[in-house]
Structure 1
Amino acid sequence: MNKKANFVVHTTYTIHPDDKQTFIDAVKEHIVLTREVEGNVYYHFSWDMIDPNTCVLAEGWVDQAAIDKQLQSEVFQKALKAVIDNVRIIERHGTLYTVSGETDIIPEVAE
């Protein structure tokens, strides 16, 4: 059975160029463990193709309780501390969206 994301979080981080690998090292284990958390639908960090210092986090959760539990977890707190203590974040924006519906939008290729 596929889980549906009822809550979506979209966050962008602009990282100081000298701290990019430090950021990756700080969150890599956290990503793997978070993907296994009950209530998580997806959890992806990716780098912007235009601005190599901008990282995008996209995450989907089944409910607010799962998000709240994750934010208080030891795994999340450890990664957060590692980032705060060692990474210069130039800019950060995050938004939580409540999902009212879900539709597959993969288009067909015209011949």
Structure 2
Amino acid sequence: MVVSTYYHVHPEDGQNFIDAVVPEMAAARKLPGCIYYAFAQDLADANAYHLVAGWKDEVFHQRHENATTFLQALATVVKNVRILNRQGVRYDVALQHVDDPRGKVA
């Protein structure tokens, strides 16, 4: 399962958002079933953030969403961050292909 979420936050709330998400990201990466968990500020828009996470399956993803660290981060964000836009999508992935375009360079 892949989770991809885009956030656009109020310019005054960016640091609060980062401060809430970074510890949660570190905790999530240690959870069983977490394949990867990445959170990054958009290079073209300092008020936009992208979160992408890969989980072994829905069960592991749900365990994460019920974890204390996730719920604490969620509460902090809800109370302290003005999210102007949020778009989140979960993908059930049936097949994975390794993509490495470096072979195209002579």
TM-score under structure 2 length normalisation: 0.94
SS at match of 1:28: helix
Structure 2, unaligned runs of 5 or more:
none
**Residue 110 (structure 1) aligned with residue 105 (structure 2):** yes
Q: 1:12 aligns with which of 6, 10, 29?
A: 6
% of aligned pairs identical? 36
Q: Which has the higher helix share?
A: 2
Q: Distance in 2 between matches of 1:110 and 1:34?
A: 36
Aligned residues: 105
Structure 1, unaligned runs of 5 or more:
1-6
Moved more, 7-16 or 46-55: 46-55
CA shift, 1:51, in A, is 1.4
CA shift, 1:39, in A, is 0.6
SS at match of 1:38: coil
**Residue 22 (structure 1) aligned with residue 16 (structure 2):** yes
Q: 2:63 aligns with which of 53, 69, 73?
A: 69
User: Which of structure 1's runs of 4+ aligned residues deviate more than 4 A?
Assistant: none
**Residue 88 (structure 1) aligned with residue 58 (structure 2):** no
